[in-house]
Amino acid sequence: MMTKCGSVLHSILMGLLLLSVSVSEGANQTPDTTPILSEDLLPFTIAIEEVPYQLPSGIHSGASGTYRNQWVIITGRTNGMHSFGADPFPPSQQNTDAYVIDLEKQVTYSRSLADSSSGLTQQQIDQLSVTSPEYCQRGKTLYICGGYGVDTATNQFGTKQTLTAIDLPKFIKWVKTGKGSAAAAIRQTSHPWMQVTGGYMAIYNNHLQGMLIFGQNFDGVYTPASNGQYTQQVRNFQIIDTGKTLSVQERKSEAPNDPYRRRDLNVVPIIKRGKPGYVALSGVFTTSVGIWTVPVTISLDGSTKMANPNSQNTFKQGMNNYVSATAQLYSKSDKTNYVIQLGGISYGYFDNGTFITDGQFPFINQVTTIKIDKHCQFSQYLLNAEYPVILSQGSNPGNRLIFGAGAFYFNQDNASELINQIIDFDKITNATTIGYILGGIMSTVPNTSSKSDSTASPYIFRLVVIPKE
């Protein structure tokens, strides 16, 4: 059974509240981070290669699914990093198109949700063009909830409380041919439990039991002084989907917890002591507008565990702190997880071999791997590979483009997956393409100062894992 879960930027836009304001190290969860080690200590290296095919237009911070070697993208944005004030998230740049990408044939199909054949109401179009919804695929159905966007009828902005189930075969047929309708491919319901943006959705069994991991409910127009209501918890739920009707039932959950005041983070599936689970990495914001550094491990019953931030031995994440494209590997022989974090936005980075921190949280092209060993001990490694050098042809011409934030990631169709899209590292015996990075925010500078400094990326990259002998 295919499972694809997540939230892309996972609200990077929502997470850049004070990007232009320097943050002191004292604002972070911990005053320091764990030293970042060399990739020489890992059993593999990677390469990131540009694919000679691009999307017709850039996109980031949306939901995605797959069906029969075709990638589906819906929701998200077509501009770069948001601004503040009167029009920080222009509705005209909410993505109101649905995309079906066939990389093998190098063809992208698209159709507007406002197309006369869609059968969708304006309210449904608003719900399906939000920024940073939570989403998860089970089998042929893509579930999407929450996200931040406009209500066209009132011109008011907020976080939606809609849960949508999309029948991917029907939806793909409509996008590619115009036959049928988008409305016939979706089922919807509304529930306040689903009113989250910048978190992560996991649906982990055939009974459609799941979790909404962290995130916030943001209401109104985005301004520098504004703040949303963080869930500060893992919300357990069950979806009741008959194929015709849809509903949500709340399930018993842990109470909100101050250290879980997090959003816009990478939450990834892992295998923990032979059982599936999840880990929430870093994210923002502390109450003093800093980053969270200590990961939170999450079991399928929604129970959580975070190491003592004051302990000298506790792992404290220093790089790739915002949501980005990620890939997951697991070695059954070593009982070890490897989480590859591909660029994005970071508190720390390396400059000529020296580790530097930046409270403005710059965009970076650098890649790290977080290793979680059989004892659930964490460590972080800088990989030698970065995104390819591609120079800006638009804003700040000649500057190197920076990728990864809010990007989509798809496993290679024939990748040896274990569970929850985790790839079996032991099956990789030579240089192997394991997946692809698509879209995301494309910045021309590490720290942006104007809307023109970044845009949505149309690029597609191949991720190659190269095992060491």
List pLDDT tens digits, range 164-222: 999 999 999 999 999 999 999 999 999 999 999 999 999 999 999 999 999 999 998 88
User: Residue 321: pLDDT above 80?
Assistant: yes
The one-letter amino acid at 264: D
Question: What is the per-residue pLDDT for 8?
Answer: 46
User: Residue 87: pLDDT above 80?
Assistant: no
In sign, the C-alpha dihedral spanning 438, 340, 450, 6 is positive
Sequence-distant (≥ 6) Cβ neighbours of residue 293 within 8 angstroms:
28, 29, 30, 33, 282, 309, 316, 317, 318
Confidence of residue 21 (pLDDT cuts 50, 70, 90): very low
Question: What is the per-residue pLDDT for 81?
Answer: 76
Whether the upstream peptide bond of residue 285 has omega within 30° of 0, thus cis, is yes
> Which is higher by pLDDT, 71 or 87?
71
Confidence of residue 227 (pLDDT cuts 50, 70, 90): confident
Q: What is the pLDDT of residues 118-133, one digit of tens each?
A: 999 999 999 999 999 9
The one-letter amino acid at 120: L
> Any bridge partners for residue 150, and if so which?
157
Rounded to an integer, the average pLDDT of 2-8 is 64
For the chain, which domains are there? 3-467 (2.120.10.80)
User: Residue 22: pLDDT above 60?
Assistant: no
Q: What angle do CA 343, 345, 349 make, to 5 degrees?
A: 75
The one-letter amino acid at 364: I
Q: What percent of the chain has pLDDT over 70?
A: 94
Question: What is the per-residue pLDDT for 221?
Answer: 85
> Any bridge partners for residue 380, and if so which?
370
Question: What is the per-residue pLDDT for 469?
Answer: 82
Lowest mean pLDDT among 88-102, 118-132, 291-305: 88-102
State the pTM of this model.
0.95
